[in-house]
Amino acid sequence: MHDDMGGVWERPWVELTPGERVAGFIIEGKLASGSFGTVFKASRDGRRFAVKLVPMDKRGNREVDALRRAQLPNVVSFHGYSVWPDEEPRFLVLALELIEGRSLDVWAREENPSALELVHQVLVPLASTLADVHAAGVVHRDVKETNIIIREADGQPVLVDFGAAAYEGAPRLTMRLPPGTPEYRSPEALRFARAWEGEPYPGGPGDDLWALGVAIYGLLTRELPFGDRHDQGMVRAILEQAPSAPHVLNPRVPPALGELCLRMLEKAPEARFADAQALEAALEDAAAQADDVWRAPLFPGGRQEKRPASALASPPAQPLVPAPTPSPPSEIRARPVRRWWPWAAGLVLGTAVGMGLMVLTPRTTSPTTPPPQQAVPRQEIAPVDLTEEVGPGAAPQTSPTPAPVARATRSENSAMTKSQKIRSLAAATCLVGSACASGPQQRPPPKPAECPPGAAATLEQFRIREGETHITYFPAFSKTRVAIVREGPITVEQPVSWGLFPDSTRFMGHVFFGAGRVYGRFTQAILPNGESVPVCLEWLSPNELGIKMKPESTAEEAHIIYDPRIQAVSRFH
């Protein structure tokens, strides 16, 4: 990873030995050391995770926020974070889901897929994933083969490593260009750097799509389209030279697919695909016209023999772009951490305490139990023998009120491709309440109200202080950051303990519309043993009560980016 002036970022190396404890995790081994953090495999309470240690600074803050916003299908799951060491914290400890598989370049070399397999199994889902990530306001900024893992369980591509990611409203951390891999820089980024006048680069989704085009070219030809960083002519080639057509370098590439790839690498942004959805549609249209050329392996030699499961834990083949030479590590010894701090209203870095656990929803994008995600060296991943599901377990059905479920939507005003419609039908329903709103944009917020009798005593009994916040999720929430809700009863669940509230405690309440926001008030907690106690909790997102409605909301349904935190209060505001 390089900074905006072309130099290598100083890497935050951390050395830990198996058996050491970090923020409640037992370290099992090192997975990778990247530009912005070190990743270890670890276990906690019988579950295995990939934990990434990143410095407590603005960049670590931004990685957490980007991961929170990008909790989407085919994106590495983010379960939470804490700080370490306990007494004098210097690192954020990010808990990531373990996934099994190979990086995209290694998978392609070993599997030698046909063009049709590559498009259907990898490229269409990748384009769809980027469309969802961009719709959530996040730009990955380091799309390349080694940051895409092919999940062994279902062959799906998973986007990992959000260390360089940005999102709408994120603070600027570099002056000219953001971090990135030189071979995957877009022409507009390089032109901006050459003519730099002091303003930061206004990058966006187009940079991710250009980088994906570079990666696709490499998959089709086993060559980078413009050379590598050791070639003095690389920058000029990106700015001025058209690469050879993939189907010219490799006659096994269908010409339609080669031309599509070349369009992704046009020098002028307006000559490329408008967005990831347009790319997804183009890929599907091209594959729909497939002939026998599309069904032959892309390279001679067929497929390699399947490796035994243990072999998947071995380091992958050399990627197309070599990693910068790391600096020597410095040894750090772990101190046991006894608890995770509740999620605060905002992430404040540089403090010794107050860093929170952010646990997100389990994946429910298919009828069967979804497989865990993985990593190989250089990613947030795990060896193949670590197969335990690390997301929250199935929610106990103790609540007398049916829990709402979520419907995925990228934008109801945009056209959906065939694959999007299939995914939407498979995972989509509406959050249903008992009543509909008559005009959410016009009505004021709900009036202040008193807490139910006994709520204050409950919070004291369960050691929850007023103002504390905690993460929740819909028990049947599909893995998308966009949900559709209606006014009426609602039930949410906490996936990890909060004070003395145990895992899988449910909170029952009511949804209200008003002033362009959705408000949730929760008055009852259902413990896993079925006991019911009064509580007084409100939705908070991120520093205000309620959750902002998206523009496509209607009088009956509110579209929201679900940021499922609840706050303990002494009175409903």
Q: What are the mean pLDDT values of the chain's consecutive 10-residue runs (573 residues total)?
A: 41 78 93 78 91 87 89 89 88 88 95 96 95 93 94 90 84 67 92 76 90 98 93 92 97 98 97 96 95 95 54 36 31 28 29 33 31 32 27 30 35 40 33 37 77 93 88 57 80 80 88 89 90 91 77 85 78 89
| Distant-in-sequence, close-in-space partners of 381: CB < 8 Å, separation ≥ 6 | 31, 50, 98, 99, 100, 101, 149, 160, 373, 374, 375
Domains and CATH numbers, the chain: 101-308 (1.10.510.10), 418-572 (2.40.128)
What pLDDT is recorded for position 457? 94
* 79, β-bridge pairs: none
Pairing between β-strand 78-84 and β-strand 469-471 as defined by DSSP bridges:
unpaired
Count CB atoms within 10 A of the CB of residue 437: 24
| Distant-in-sequence, close-in-space partners of 9: CB < 8 Å, separation ≥ 6 | 1, 2, 3, 35, 36, 179
What pLDDT is recorded for position 134? 94
| Distant-in-sequence, close-in-space partners of 261: CB < 8 Å, separation ≥ 6 | 213, 216, 217, 220, 246
φ/ψ (deg, to 5) at 459: -60, -40
What pLDDT is recorded for position 174? 60
Q: Give the ranges where 161-233 is alpha helix by DSSP (H).
A: 187-194, 205-221
What pLDDT is recorded for position 359? 37
Smallest CA-to-CA distance from 177 within 187, 169, 441 is with 187
Tokens of 76: 């590495």
Residues 69, 135, 126, 389, CA torsion sign: positive
